[in-house]
């Protein structure tokens, strides 16, 4: 099963200056890339590239992400994201629109989500998503 890599993992691997604490996550991402298992979505690419004040750093990061094509997001994915938002809100769980879009893409395209964001553990209680690594 392919893996949708969340912004939190890309940031650890590509944006943090001292990533020693995250070596296991970076090693896992590297292995997934080597195995051609990584999927990227446009909203995640946008989040990773946002907030970079130095143009040379932005261009370097953009170049590192170029080999990864964006998964095509459909109307059904957006509708599913809205539905997932509603389900979670009814159960007292708040989240960002991007997080619910990631959940929808994962569900609709049969992808695992690789993230360090604990919010996804809450979403998984109410949504048909699966996190990487599967437990």
Instruction: For 40-81, write each residue's pLDDT tens digit.
Output: 999 999 999 999 999 999 999 999 999 999 999 999 999 999
Q: How far apart are CA 63 and CA 67, in angstroms?
A: 8
pLDDT score recorded for residue 17: 63
Instruction: For 5-25, write each residue's pLDDT tens digit.
Output: 999 999 999 976 665 668 899
pLDDT score recorded for residue 23: 83
Q: How far apart are CA 133 and CA 58, in angstroms?
A: 30
Could you tell me if 65 and 48 are in contact, meaning their C-beta atoms sit under 8 angstroms apart? yes
CATH number assigned to the domain comprising residue 103 = 3.40.50.1010
pLDDT at residue 95 above 90?
A: yes
What's the domain count of the chain? Answer: 1
Mean pLDDT of the chain: 95
pLDDT score recorded for residue 19: 57
- Cα angle 38, 46, 1 (rounded to 5 degrees) comes to 20
- The count of C-alpha atoms lying within 13 angstroms of the C-alpha of 109, restricted to the half-sphere facing its C-beta, is 25
Instruction: Give me the domain span that covers residue 99.
Output: 3-132
pLDDT score recorded for residue 18: 62
pTM: 0.94
To the nearest 10 degrees (0 to 180), the angle between helices 42-49 and 97-108 is: 140
pLDDT band at 134 (very low <50, low <70, confident <90, very high): confident
User: What is the rounded average pLDDT of the residues 101-126?
Assistant: 98
pLDDT score recorded for residue 20: 65
């Amino acid at each position: 099963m392919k893996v949708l890599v969340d912004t939190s993992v890309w940031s650890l691997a590509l944006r943090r200056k001292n990533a020693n604490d995250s070596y296991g996550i970076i090693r896992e991402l590297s292995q997934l890339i080597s195995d051609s298992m990584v999927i990227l979505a446009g909203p995640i690419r946008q989040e990773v590239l946002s907030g970079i004040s130095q143009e040379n750093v932005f261009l370097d990061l953009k170049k590192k992400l170029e080999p990864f094509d964006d998964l095509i997001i459909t109307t059904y994915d957006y509708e599913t994201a809205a539905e997932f938002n509603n389900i979670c809100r009814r159960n007292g769980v708040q989240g960002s629109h991007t997080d619910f879009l990631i959940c929808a893409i994962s569900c609709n395209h049969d992808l695992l989500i690789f993230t360090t964001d604990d919010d996804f553990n809450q979403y998984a209680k109410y949504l048909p998503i699966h996190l990487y690594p599967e437990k």
